[in-house]
Amino acid sequence: MNIKTHDGSTEAFPFRAFFDPHNMTEAQLAELGLEQIAYVRPIMTQNGPAFGVFAANGTPIAIASDGNLARAAIVQNEMAPVSVH
């Protein structure tokens, strides 16, 4: 198979080892990376400024007093911290 001439069909692949994001529903896309990716952003709490840890879909996971501590918590829980701009 030549990647430059491949027509995109999956008939030659009996187990379909990959997925096509073009055929995913909006709900499936929203769940993509949910348990593997988290991000940190500054938040305001009743006690003052802090750093929130959020799942890929924006669900709050944790609060830390320091950004580095928040990122360390993500790594410690076997997730990948990502930057959000």
pLDDT of residue 23: 75
CB atoms within 10 A of CB 31: 12
CB atoms within 10 A of CB 11: 7
* Per-residue pLDDT tens listing for the chain (85 residues): 444 555 555 555 454 445 666 777 777 766 766 778 899 999 999 999 999 999 888 889 999 999 999 999 999 988 888 877 5
Q: Whole-model pTM?
A: 0.63
